[in-house]
Every structure is written in C-alpha cells, then in structure tokens.
Amino acid sequence: MVDANKLIQDAQTAQSQGNDALALDCFQQALSQYPGESSLLIACGNLCMKLNHFEAAITHFRNLLTLNNSQPIVNALCFALQARGNQASNEGSDSIAEACFTEALQYNQNHAIFLYNLGNAQRNLGKLADAVTSFKQSIQSDPSDADVYNNLGNVQRELGQLDLAIANYEKAIALDGNMHHSLMHLVHQKQHVCDWHGEGENDLNAQILAIRKVVRSTPNAAIAPFAFLAMPSTTAVEQKLCANHYIAQNYLPLAVLRDALAFTHNSQAKSKLKIGYLSADFRLHPLAFLITELIENHDRTQFEITAYSYGADDKTDVRKRLIDAFDHFWDIRTLNDSEAATKIHQDGIDILVDLTGYTQSSRTGIAVLKPAPIQINWLGFAGTMGAFADGKPLFDYALVDKITAPNADAFSEKLLYLPCYQPNNKRTIAKQSAKNDHDLPQDSFVFCCFNQTFKITPDVFAVWMRLLEQVPNSVLWLLACNPWAKANLEKESELAGIDKGRLIFAARTLSDAHLERQQHADLFLDTIPYNAHTTASDALSVGLPVLTCKGDTFSASVAASLLGHIGLPGLVCSTLATYEEKALYFAQNQEALTKLKSKLNTKKESADLFNAKKFARSLESQYATVWQSHLDET
C-alpha cells in the first residue's frame, strides 16, 4: 500500500501540473486509508466539482458534513446538489433533479433558485400542483425574478387556469421587458381565451408583430415554434427561423452528448426494415384516430414496427388497440433522453419517425441524439423542425404533400411527398341523438366549428357574425374549450349586433359522441391561418362539408389537402371574401347543400382519405426509397 503522505504529495504535484484527474485519483487512494480526514474529503469534493463528477462530490460533502456541520460545508454540499440537479435536468433526468433540489432545500428552505429549479423538475414530472407550490415559495423569497412568474404561468396554463397564467406572464413582462418567451406565452393564451383587444403595445396584433420582429432579430429569444406558427400573419420563412433559433436555445448540450455517444448504424440491405414511431400520444388522442389502422395495415413481411411511448397510459381501449397494433410497444417514460436514444439504437431501428414534434410533451431531444440512421418529422407538428447552426437539419426528412408543402425552401428537412400527408382510420357512428339533445333549435341552420378556440381570429369571427346576420334562422355551434373564451366570444357577438344566444357551445365529450353529434350541423366553417386538421377529417367522415380558406403555410393548408384528396376542391377558398360568399350560398340554397352532402357521403366511402391500407403502401414505398438512398450514400 502506498503511503498516504506520498499519495497526497503526488496529488499536489499533479494539481500544480494541471492534471486534476490524476490528483483526484491520488487523493481518493489516500482517503481510502483515512476516510474520516476532513482535508482529504474537501480536496476530493472540490476536484470532483472541477471535473463535473457531481455525484461523487455530493457523496464527499455529505460525509464531510457528518464530521463538520458548518455553514461552509453546507454551502459546498448545496452547490454540488445544485450542479448535479442542473446537469440531470439537462439530461432529462428530472427525478434526479427533483431529489437534488429537495435535499438542498433541507439546508436552506427559502432559497429562491433551489425552489425555482425544483418547480421546473416537478413540472416536467407532471407534478403540477407541487410545482405551483414551489414557484410560489420562490416568488415569496425573491419577488423580482421574472422567470419564476413565467414558469408559474406555464404550470397554471397546463392546469387550465388560463386567467392566472395570463396574469403571471404579464407580471414577468412587467419585471423584464426582454422576456420575449413570456410575451409569446401571453399572446398564445390570449388566443385561447379569444381576448383580441388591448391598447397600444398591449393590443394583440401589436404583440404578434413584436414577436415576429423578435424572431427575425433576436436568435436567443426562445420562442416556442408551435405557439409561433399558431399566430396570425407569421410566414413560413419566419416559422423556419423560429425553429432554428429554438434548436440553438434548447438542444446544444444534447448535440454535444450526441457527438459523445456517436451511435453507429448497421446500414445494409435488409429483408425487413425496422420502423420506430416516437410519440407522447399513443392514447385517447387525435393521433390515435389517424394512425391506428395504418399501423395495423403495415406489411409485416417487409417491416417490423415498434412504438416508443413517452406519454401517459390512459388505460383506454384506444391505447390497448394501439399496443396490439405494434409488433413491439415500449413505454420509455422513465428513461431520460440518453437512455431512450440508447434503447432505440440497441433495438436496431432503421427509420425513426417522430409523431409529436414541437407540440405538448415533446421529447425532441431523443431525436437530437440521432439513435437511428434515418429520422423523419411527421404529423404532430405542422411545419419544419429546423436545423442546427451548421445547417444540418434536426430531422433528415419530413412527410408532406404537394398542397401542404409546395415550397421546399420552407423546410430544413428533405421532403417526402405522399398523395395526402394525413392518414385516417375509418370512423363509425354507434348511436343516434336528436338535434335538441345538443341545445340546437330544431328548424335552425347550423354553422359549426369544432376547432380549438386559439385558432379563431377576429377576421374569421367577423365573417361568422355577418353570416349569422344574413341567415336569420342560423346558429353557430362551437367547442366549449374554456369559460373565458366562451365569455369573450359571447361579448364579441353582442358587439357585432348578434344575440349571444345564437352561439351554442358543445361540451367536450367522448370521441364517438362527438362524431355522432356533428351530423346535426349543416356546414363546418374552418379557421385561418390554422386550419382544422384531425377535426376536418372527423367532420368529413360523418358527411359534414368543410369550407376552408387556404393560406401560405403548412398549418393553413391542411384542410385544402384533405378536401382535395376526398375530391371536393370546390370547398377550398383563396380569400375570406370567397369563403363568406360560399358559406352564404350553401346556407341559402338547401338544394345545393343537399347535393354537396350527397356527393361527400358517396366520396367518403370510396376516396383514399379513409383507406389506411392504401396509405400504408404509399408510406412504405417512401420508407423503402429513403433506405435505398441511405445505402447508396454509405
């Protein structure tokens, strides 16, 4: 055994020469001989911190604290816990982050930063009520931190407390005028509650223009791509720029980890390709009504199909059917991004398809680590996922169609064209209800829109009010998304001279019941610039015509794609004026509407829009093509 004093001298020499790893090794050998020596624990702890070995540093400082319960040692332990908590958070290991900050708070229960970071970890773990408590305690300790108000607003938004969320975003902006992401959240929630008014810089349009300017001029602004593309007037160029900035702000540490992991792939000709689908939404969610029959219809002689699920298991029949549809179904909720990517790589996935994108519960970080040789952006996010600063796209390809993506320059990915980008299950209606079961007047003409309220814009709503004015026996049937939107839309209708009683709000219900009740509507009025997506297919599946207005971005073109694919391009308008004229024509011409519905009912039985088997063949052809291209390039 080497003498401890010699080891300490060697460690000190190594430190003086800048060899911290060797110094740590020598100190630790000495510590094994004298485990209660405070100076050795301090030396090892400090070197571990310097080398980013935070777990080991925590152990050394914990041991030291049992010998010397002094404030400097407490501070050192808390500093190590904070460093490991931040590291774990960056790795997606939120349970570890939660444990670190909880332990640190045992020594300083009012530490604002520890409380803030604990709240972030709790939010990521779905412990929303606990996160609210942590953020509020952080604000009590330091009421001047704008970030805490912002993140408290985020949790309240997820809890459905939109009024409280809006108030906290406003507080964040008042504290720091450069909280651009708070302004983005504020605008998006104002859209959700249909609060379209304000004075000066608080006017919704003025705020949207400010965010567009920020995206063009401030790369570090961290504007969420989904909220941005939902805002009226944003362009495809700006949406791509927003996605690029979001990558730079959120995924650079994972890009470093990607290079360290350096996954290699077995790229060779195969009799059966392994396709992996990654999503948070393998449950009772619109995604299930798009992809379940597709997954069931994949050709198992050519493809092996695996699901990687990081969303909640809602125990529904929809979830069970999806599990049964896949060859393999892996729940990866407990794995951090690195572990999940390693699992995907070990499974030998050839093509990984992300079905969530920049939507709620996204874990795009898994794809950043490049666990599969080919990675595809599809279905969840209506736009490009962007590229890194070196120009390399986050995803290799995006699955689109010629209507939703006529301009390849709007995407960082290479584009793979399908006849229509959206797959669909066949929908069935089990029971029949009466019109008055839904508070609809028996002899009324029913305009409807079951899109989420954030998609309703003042310009579109103004068209709807003019239609109600010109069709006296009509009502407008909307989805009851939240009480604030209902109140604001009723207020807007009164300002337009329309009795608010002519707005009928449909409560959320089970999918079968929602499909069935749509048969009592006469015409679905789409929104612009964010169209109905799955909602449009729902309407068409029950024979309800959808009238849309096509815009220039992906999200503004989806309904046009669906209508073209089912053979009703005449329901696609290029201006709101034409949209209004056609809606009025059908409302005032029952014979024309009856013919339209008859045509739709015929086409929906034979059109490819609801033919999952045919869709599967088109999709598989693209998979085979990109795999061959990959082989040709390697």
Reported in sequence order, the residue ranges of 247-379 that DSSP labels E, i.e. its strands, are 273-279, 303-309, 328-331, 351-354, 374-377
Give me the mean pLDDT over the 531-540 stretch: 97
Which token pair is 582?
């056609």
101: alpha, beta or left, given left = phi > 0 and alpha = psi -120 to 50? Answer: alpha
Q: 252-283, pLDDT tens digit by residue? A: 989 999 999 999 998 888 999 999 999 999 99
Sign of CA dihedral 394, 272, 380, 561: positive
Distance in angstroms (rounded) separating the CA atoms of residues 25 and 613: 62
Give the residue among 417, 426, 470, 392 at the shortest CA–CA distance from 607: 426
Q: 509-518, pLDDT tens digit by residue? A: 988 999 999 9
Give me the mean pLDDT over the 479-486 stretch: 98
Of 46 and 432, more confident: 46
Distance in angstroms (rounded) separating the CA atoms of residues 404 and 381: 12
Whole-number average pLDDT of the chain: 95
Within 8 A by CB and 6+ apart from 425, the residues are 288, 289, 290, 291, 292, 293, 610, 612
C-alpha 378: how far from chain center: 13
375: alpha, beta or left, given left = phi > 0 and alpha = psi -120 to 50? Answer: beta
Residue 531 and residue 559 in contact, taking contact as beta carbons nearer than 8 Å: yes
pLDDT at 400: 98
Give me the mean pLDDT over the 355-375 stretch: 95
Which token pair is 490?
């009723």
Within 8 A by CB and 6+ apart from 449, the residues are 456, 464, 476, 477, 478, 479, 524, 525, 526, 527, 532
pLDDT of 430 over the 80 cut: no
Give me the mean pLDDT over the 328-344 stretch: 95
Give me the mean pLDDT over the 282-291 stretch: 95
How does strand 546-549 pair with strand 523-525? parallel
Give me the mean pLDDT over the 544-552 stretch: 97
pLDDT at 411: 98
How does strand 328-331 pair with strand 351-354? unpaired
Give me the mean pLDDT over the 489-497 stretch: 98
pTM over 0.85: yes
Q: Kindly report the CATH class assigned to 435-610.
A: alpha beta
C-alpha 101: how far from chain center: 26
Residue 550 and residue 526 in contact, taking contact as beta carbons nearer than 8 Å: no
pLDDT of 1 over the 80 cut: no
How does strand 397-400 pair with strand 374-377? parallel
pLDDT of 2 over the 80 cut: no
**What H or E segment, with its residue span, contains residue 40?**
helix 38-50
pLDDT at 88: 93
Give the confidence band of 119 by pLDDT, cuts at 50, 70, 90. Answer: very high
pLDDT of 206 over the 90 cut: yes
pLDDT of 431 over the 80 cut: no
Distance in angstroms (rounded) separating the CA atoms of residues 568 and 524: 14
- Rounded to 5 degrees, φ, ψ at 362 are -55, 140
Distance in angstroms (rounded) separating the CA atoms of residues 568 and 548: 11
Percent of the chain's residues with pLDDT above 70 = 100
pLDDT at 253: 87
Q: 369-380, pLDDT tens digit by residue? A: 999 999 999 999
Give the residue among 136, 90, 142 at the shortest CA–CA distance from 111: 142
pLDDT at 429: 81
CATH 3.40.50.2000 domain residues, the chain = 435-610
Distance in angstroms (rounded) separating the CA atoms of residues 188 and 532: 17
**Residue type for position 399:** L
Is CATH 1.10.1060.10 what the domain over 263-417 is classified as, yes or no? no
pLDDT at 198: 86
Any long-range contacts for 425-429 (C-beta under 8 Å, 24+ apart)? 425/288, 425/289, 425/290, 425/291, 425/292, 425/293, 425/610, 425/612, 426/293, 426/541, 426/610, 426/612, 427/289, 427/515, 427/538, 427/541, 427/542, 427/610, 429/512, 429/515, 429/516, 429/519, 429/542
Distance in angstroms (rounded) separating the CA atoms of residues 506 and 593: 23
pLDDT at 63: 95
Give the residue among 490, 510, 341 at the shortest CA–CA distance from 427: 510
CATH architecture assigned to 144-233: Alpha Horseshoe (1.25)
| Cβ count within 10 A of residue 132 | 19
pLDDT at 10: 86
Give me the mean pLDDT over the 180-189 stretch: 96
Residue 544 and residue 372 in contact, taking contact as beta carbons nearer than 8 Å: no
434, burial (CB in 10 Å: exposed 0-12, middle 13-18, buried 19+):
exposed
Query: What is the three-class DSSP state of 71?
Result: helix
Distance in angstroms (rounded) separating the CA atoms of residues 223 and 234: 13
Distances (CA, A) of 154 to 117, 149, 167: 14, 9, 11
pLDDT of 7 over the 90 cut: no
Give the confidence band of 90 by pLDDT, cuts at 50, 70, 90. Answer: confident
